[in-house]
Structure 1
Amino acid sequence: MGAMQRRKGGDGERELARLLADELGADVRRRCRQHPGDSDVLGVDGWAVECKRVRAASRGDLVAWWRQAVAQAQVTGELPALFVRCDRSPWRCVWPLAVAFGVPVADGWRDFEMTCETSIAGWAAVVREQQAARERETVEVAE
């Protein structure tokens, strides 16, 4: 990968981290030192975030990147989220459809055909609802 591609990728990760921090009200940051299996951003509890900032993306690219996101999530025990922004386009997020139904994300639900694609705002709404549900459960257990 050339220096321009690395810079574009890093810029994309910083841009995404800022947007996610705004949407979630959380301390979301780019992971500076990355190793295989690491999420590209830190601070999104329960999610392994893969970020791609590219000129263009084919369906084949999305499938390959989704597999990468799933593999990374399996290492950390988190849910996969693939964020992609092509030139002159808004950010899009690919995530397991099972999450929208509130069912466990088993292996079959990790297939690309069992994903949904939304805006960052759409995905963040689901994440905020998950967090609120966990907080309600914690309060109920404590009482």
Structure 2
Amino acid sequence: MGLKSRNKGKTGEREIALIVSDLTGWTVRRKVRQLDGESDLEGVPGWCIEVKRHATATRGEVSDWWLQATMQATSEKALPVLFYRKDRDEWRAVWALGQQLGVNTAENWLRYEWAIEGSIAAWAAVAREIANLKEAA
């Protein structure tokens, strides 16, 4: 990966960290030392975050990124979320439908065809609700 691409990725991670912090009130930061298979951000309770900035974002690319996010989340025992943005477009969030329904996010629910894509604000509302339910339990 070239320097320009790495810098684009770092910038995207910082941008998402600020947006998620603003929407949730959580202190979200980019992980400075990321190991393969780890979340790109920290400070989002119960979620493993994958962030992608790319010139394009075809369905095939988003599907591949979602697979990466779910594999990372499984190893971290967290819920997966993918934030992506193609050049000159808005950020989008992808998360598992099972999280909306309150069901176990077993392997079948993590497949891309069972994912929801929406705004970051929509995902943040879901994430806050899940955090509130866990706190109340």
Query: Which TM-score band (shorter chain)?
Result: over 0.9
1:140 matched to which residue of 2?
none
1:141 matched to which residue of 2?
none
What is the Cα deviation at residue 133 of structure 1? Answer: 1.2
Work out whether 1:85 is the aligned partner of 2:85: yes
**AA aligned opposite 1:96:** A
Distance in structure 2 (CA, Å) of the matches to 1:120 and 1:136: 24
1:52 matched to which residue of 2?
52
Across the two proteins, how many residue pairs are aligned to each other? 137
**AA aligned opposite 1:107:** E
**AA aligned opposite 1:47:** W
**AA aligned opposite 2:76:** T
Q: Which has the larger radius of gyration?
A: 1
Work out whether 1:123 is the aligned partner of 2:123: yes
1:28 matched to which residue of 2?
28
1:62 matched to which residue of 2?
62
Aligned-partner SS, 2:37: coil
Q: Could you tell me the percent identity over the aligned residues?
A: 47
1:40 matched to which residue of 2?
40
Give RMSD over aligned pairs: 0.7
Distance in structure 2 (CA, Å) of the matches to 1:47 and 1:115: 15
**AA aligned opposite 1:13:** E
**AA aligned opposite 1:128:** R
1:71 matched to which residue of 2?
71
Provide structure 1 residue ranges, at least 5 long, that are not aligned to the other structure: 138-143
Aligned-partner SS, 2:44: coil
Distance in structure 1 (CA, Å) of the matches to 2:116 and 2:51: 16
Distance in structure 2 (CA, Å) of the matches to 1:73 and 1:79: 6
Distance in structure 2 (CA, Å) of the matches to 1:122 and 1:23: 10
